[in-house]
Amino acid sequence: MAAILFQSPNPYRNLNTRAYKTKVSRNENLAKLQAGYLFPEIARRRAAHMLKYPDAQVISLGIGDTTEPIPEVITSAMSKRSYALSTVDGYSGYGAEQGAKQLRAAIASTYYADLGIEEDDIFVSDGAKSDISRLQVLFGSNVTMAVQDPSYPAYVDSSVILGQTGQFQKDVEKYGNIEYMRCTPENGFFPDLSTVRRTDIIFFCSPNNPTGYAASREQLTRIVQFAKENGSIIVYDSAYAMYVSDDSPRSIFEIPGAKEVALEVSSFSKYAGFTGVRLGWTAIPKDLLYSDGFPLAKDFNRIVCTCFNGASNIAQAGGLACVSAEGIKAKTHHTFGSTFLAGSWDVFSEILEKTHVVTTPGSGFGPGGEGFVRVSAFGHRENVLEACRRFKQLYK
C-alpha cells in the first residue's frame, strides 16, 4: 500500500493507511497550491520563535496588521448598534446582501463623489479578501489573469483554487497560465506593458502591497488604455488608497474611461483599523460589460445573493460612523509603507534569529519578490523605530 500522501503529520498523526477513505477525489486545483498561505506560515514561524526565546522582545512587522485603537466616535456607534439589538425597535434580522442602503450611498458619495459611481454600484462586503474570492467565483475557471509581481498572494492563490492556472513550475517559481507583470526598482515598480501578454483579468493594486508604490495618474491612464485595447477587465485593489499623499489617484475611476474596463475592491481595514471588525466594499460600474453585452454587476449581484448574507450589521454601523464628518475627522492614522531589504526566507530567518523582528519574505509575493523582505511599517511608532535600531546594529 502507498503511504498516505500528506506530509504535515500534526494534528493528523493518528491516521493510517487502513483508515476509511471516501471515494471523493480531492480537488486537483487545491493540490497545485504551494506550501501554506503566506501569512499563517509567518504566524507559525513567529510562534515557534517565541517558544524558543520566551523572553525576547519580538517586534512583528510581518503581516501588515493594524495596531492603533479605533476612534470612539466609531466604536460607540457599533456599541450602540449592538445594544439596540436587544430592543424591539432596534432589532433587525437579515439585511440586504449588498449592504445597507444608507452605507452604500455614503460610500458612493464619500469616495466617489463626481466619479459617476452610484449607490447601487456599491456592494458592501466583509472585507477585500472575501470579495477577491467571490470575484474569482464570478469569473470562473475559463479566464486568464495577470498580476503585478510581486503582489498580495490572495490573487494568485484564489486563481489557482478556481482552476484558472496550470501547475506550479518550480524552475521559474510561477504557475502556468498566469501573466506575471514584473515590478522592480529598475522599472520604478510599474510594469513594462509592452511586454505584457493580453489576459481577461488584470489584478492591479495601488498603492501596492508589498512594494508600497502608488501608480501615478499617467501610469494608471496607460493601464486603463491597455485594458481597453485588449478588452480586459481590471480588478483594482485600492485598500491602501488613504495613504496616497501626493496627487496620485485614490480610485481607478478618476481615470477617464475606467468605468468601461474596471471594478474596484476596497476596505475599511486600513482606513479605520477594521482588520478585525471586517468591512469592505466592491464598486462595479454599470458600464462594465462582458463581450455579449451582459453587465458584470448583474452577475456579481447574483453571486453576492447566493454566496453571502451581507456584512455584520454592527460592522456596517461602524462603517457609517467612519464616513460621517466626525469619523473622517477622527480617523486613526496608521503608519504605512513597506521597505524592501535584500534577501528572502533565509534573510527572514536570519533577521528573526538575530533581531527578533518578524518580517515577510518577498518570495511569498511572487518570484519578483525574491531577493527582498518586506518590512511592514504598520505598528506602534516606537516599535518601528526600535526595529530600525536593531537592523542598523545587525547590518552596520
Per CB under 8 A, which of residues 257..316 are in contact with its own copies?
A: 260-261, 273, 275-278, 286-295, 298-299, 302-303, 305-315
Give CA–CA dist 278/10, Å, rounded: 30
Contact region for its own copies (CB under 8 A) — 109-117, 133-141, 365-373, 382-390?
A: 133-141
Q: Which of 236, 268, 265, 266 lies closest to 252, judged by CA?
A: 236
373 binds its own copies (CB under 8 A): no
Before 256, cis peptide (omega within 30)?
Answer: no
The cell for 152 is: 498580495
Shortest CB 126 distance to its own copies, Å? 6
Number of chain positions touching its own copies (CB under 8 A) = 116
194 binds its own copies (CB under 8 A): no
The cell for 240 is: 491602501
**262-267 and 233-237 beta bridge pairing:** parallel
Name the residue nearer to its own copies (CB basis): 121 or 343. Answer: 121
Shortest CB 115 distance to its own copies, Å? 17
145 binds its own copies (CB under 8 A): no
Name the residue nearer to its own copies (CB basis): 34 or 187. Answer: 34
Taking the CA atoms of the chain, what radius of gyration do you get in angstroms? 22
Shortest CB 11 distance to its own copies, Å? 6
Q: Which of 265, 316, 262 lies closest to 77, judged by CA?
A: 316
92 binds its own copies (CB under 8 A): yes
Residues 224-263 close enough to bind its own copies by CB under 8 A: 227-228, 230-233, 260-261
104 binds its own copies (CB under 8 A): no
Are 311 and 99 within 8 A, CB to CB? Answer: yes
Give CA–CA dist 168/166, Å, rounded: 7
User: Binder to its own copies among 111, 112, 123, 139 (CB under 8 A)?
Assistant: 139
Residues 32-61 close enough to bind its own copies by CB under 8 A: 33, 36-37, 39-40
Residue 178 parent element (H or E) = strand 178-182
205 binds its own copies (CB under 8 A): no
Any idea of the CA torsion for 146, 148, 153, 154, to the nearest 10 degrees?
A: -50
Name the residue nearer to its own copies (CB basis): 130 or 355. Answer: 130
Name the residue nearer to its own copies (CB basis): 24 or 113. Answer: 24
Are 204 and 240 within 8 A, CB to CB? Answer: no
